[in-house]
Structure formats: structure tokens, C-alpha cells
Amino acid sequence: MAQTITEKIFSEHAGRDVYAGEIIRVPIDMVIGNDITTPISIKAFEESSFEKLANPDAFSIVLDHFIPAKDIASANQARISRDFAKKHKLKNFFDEKDMGIEHALLPEKGLVSPGDVIIGADSHTCTHGALSAFSTGMGSTDIAFAMMTGGNWFKVPETIKVVFSGKPSKYVTGKDLILEIIRLIGVDGALYQTLEFTGSTIKHLNMDDRFSLCNMAIEAGAKSGIVAYDETTKEFCDEVGLVRPAKIHYSDDDATYVRVLEINVAELEPVIAYPFLPSNGHSVTQAVADKIKVDQAFIGSCTNGRLGDLKIASEILKGKRVHEDVRLIVTPGTQKILREANHLGYIDIIVDAGGVVSNPTCGACLGGYMGILGDNEVAISTTNRNFVGRMGSRSSKVYLANTAVAAISAITGYISDPNSAQ
């Protein structure tokens, strides 16, 4: 019987053919925790009287939300993970010494392989589907169970096939493709389903685009997002060097899909998600007409904090100045990205333009620190959520966009079209 790529990944792990709707228990290739969620998992692990991790090499802790610590509470929270990592001699423990946002750092380290089953106590764990892995967010107690047993239970999800056609125009990125999907199907349009991204457009998407695309699958309610292995995937994997061998799977031509969604990317403009839902998408043309003044432009997060984003930002900002009424904050996804961007001159351009560059952190995205919005302030942001109070005050507003839109808007002071404003 024909299978989707997701069904094949689970079948390989289960040791038998499985299909959507089945409830199965399978081994986990990588479990991911962070400074907010891991202490809860550690407490559950220790209260269950377990002394050893089932598979310590398949457990990563990344301190990325409030690191360097923003206050005493966050410092104490991080200490729990540090002590646990030291006690269990974890080799995949990352803090200030080798820091990064978890969903940018782990692929960079080769800790995500095609065909993996990956779970993390962070909803945007679905990012890793860009590398043709099944990857999803779970709760801290689910993470604890995987720490104890090396596996977990899953209901094999049904799959929505998304067929992209056409070549994206300049400044249309993976971020715009996923915002368009969410606009079309809503924030609950793919509940407990996999979004499988296919079509002729995929060959035009680099890995940065694919990470953005899969990152926001959760914003459509999806369990995961996934892109099949191809030459672009291979080049990335060869460059980083995989810790585990790739396991390559492809969907059968006659696989069963719960729905097929077709999108002509050639006709797509940059998409702006207005407050207060990622599904509230509008074209950049509409946003320009609405004359939306911004107080802050943010470029970064696990969605758009990669080297390609900093390259785009620097190209737009070069020789220009950030508007006097706007704060531009740029957060590289990892220390390696920061170093490479500095070597390539991107950081100088951003700073010369009036932007500030922070350490890698999730802080601004979740309204924790390093870019909190005040009362009634408006942000254009490359992050992934724009709920009420997401980045600060409950009266603030967040408009989600790609990096090019955020960069040009920082210059003009209004949400602007990077094509027409250059």
C-alpha cells in the first residue's frame, strides 16, 4: 500500500508498515530541550527515580530563551540544566560558550539527519522537517518520558500535500509561502496533520527558505512540516557533516493525502500577517496602502535569523540609515552565523545603518527581553507569532513579514515594499 514520506519514516522506526491514524511507539533520534522547558523534564525524570538517560547522545539541551540570563529567576532556571548536563556528561549541551537558537543550532551541528524522528519541548521543533525529518513539538513530560525510555508514542498524522508552482519573484521567500498557506487554511487548518511541501518551486528554495517554511507549520495547527530530500538538502548535510547517516524516503506517487493545496508562487507578493493572528495575511501592496507606521523592526528568531537573512538585510540597509523613529534589532540565529556575517561585512553595514545586533536568543520573539514592545507600539517582525501581547505590551501590535520587508520598513518608518522602495 502506498505511503507518504511521513508514514515511511515512522514505518522505518517501527520496523513495520504503518499508516495515518495508527498509534505507535517508536525510538527517538534526537530529543531537544531548552532553558525554559528542560527543568520541568528534569524534575519529572528525577522524581521517577531514573538515574541514567536511555540515550544520552540523542538528548540535546540548548539554552537560548533567556541566555545570557536576564534576571535571577532565569539564571537559576539555567543552572538546573547546567547541573544536569554536567552530572550526565552530556556532549550535546550548548550555552553561552557555543550558543544559538536551538532550531538553527542543531542543524548547523549536524545533529539533525534526514529520516530522523525528532521531538522537542518547543512548538517550533517542526523547523527540522526542512531536512526531511519528522520533527514535532511535545510537552515537557513527553520529553521526560523520552529521556527515560528513548522513545515515545505517536499517532501517525494524515498529510496535506502542498504543491507550489512557479519561480518566486525577488523578495518572495519561504516565509511568504508559509504565511500564504496559513492565510488560506487558517491557524487550525492542519490540526495534527503533516504539511508536505512539494512542487516545482522547491528547487528555487534554499535551506534558509525551507527552514522558515517548516518552522511555521505549527501556526497552521500542523503536527509537522516536511520537504523531501534533494540536492539542496544533500549539499547542506555534506557541508555540516551529519552525526547520523541520512535515511532517505520519498512519498509514493499514489500515496493518500487528506487534502491537496495548490499555490502559484509566481503570482505571490511578500505577505504581511496583520495582528493578531498569523492567518491574518495581506499583500505588501495592501500594507503599503494602509500606511502602517512602525516603532520597531526586528530581524531574527528561529524563523529568520540565518545568514541569508542577514545578507538580505545588509543589501537593503547598505548606505542608508534607519528612520529616526524606528529601532532596528537584529538577532543572528547562532554564534557561527554571527561570525560569518561579521566576516562578510554584514554586521558593519547593519550597525552603520543604525541597527543593533544582539546575541543569539529567542528573547524578543516571546516578549522576554532584548526587544520588548511598550504600550501601543508597532513592530514589523520576522518572528512567527503576533498574538496579543506576544512581544510585550498587550496594547502593542506585531506585523509578521520576511526579512526584506522588515529591513526596508526600518528605513522608511512604515511597512514598505522592498521592490518599490529601493
User: What are the pLDDT digits (tens) for 161-190?
Assistant: 999 999 999 999 999 999 999 999 999 999
Q: Identify the architecture of domain 273-412 in CATH.
A: 2-Layer Sandwich (3.30)
Flag the least confident range among 44-53, 125-134, 321-330.
44-53
Q: Provide the pLDDT for residue 421.
A: 62
Q: Would the pLDDT of 208 be above 60?
A: yes
Q: Measured between alpha carbons, how far is 382 from 334 in angstroms, rounded to an integer?
A: 16
Q: Measured between alpha carbons, how far is 164 from 161 in angstroms, rounded to an integer?
A: 10
Q: Provide the pLDDT for residue 338.
A: 97
Locate 124 and state its grid cell.
517550533
Q: Measured between alpha carbons, how far is 132 from 4 in angstroms, rounded to an integer?
A: 12
- Tell me, what amino acid is at 170? K
- Over residues 210-239, mean pLDDT: 97
Q: Provide the pLDDT for residue 89.
A: 95
- By the 10 Å C-beta count (0-12 exposed, 13-18 middle, 19+ buried), 273 is classed as buried
Give the position of cell 531537544.
Answer: 32
CA dist 215 to 202, 264, 297, 334, 384, Å? 16, 21, 20, 16, 8
- Over residues 344-357, mean pLDDT: 98
CA dist 105 to 17, 98, 222, 342, Å? 33, 9, 23, 18
CATH 3.30.499.10-classified regions of the chain: 7-263, 273-412
Residues 137 and 125 sit within 8 Å (Cβ to Cβ):
yes
Nearest Cα to Cα of residue 258 among 178, 193, 179:
193
Span 360-390, pLDDT tens digits? 999 999 999 999 999 999 999 999 999 999 9
Q: Provide the pLDDT for residue 290.
A: 97
Span 75-101, pLDDT tens digits? 999 999 999 999 999 999 999 888 999
Strand partners, 163: 198, 262
Q: Provide the pLDDT for residue 422.
A: 54
Nearest Cα to Cα of residue 365 among 295, 280, 277, 305:
305
Multiple choice CATH, 7-263, 3.30.470.20, 2.30.110.10, 1.10.10.10, 3.30.499.10: 3.30.499.10
Q: pLDDT band for position 49 (50/70/90)?
A: confident
Q: Would the pLDDT of 350 be above 80?
A: yes
Q: Measured between alpha carbons, how far is 345 from 363 in angstroms, rounded to an integer?
A: 25
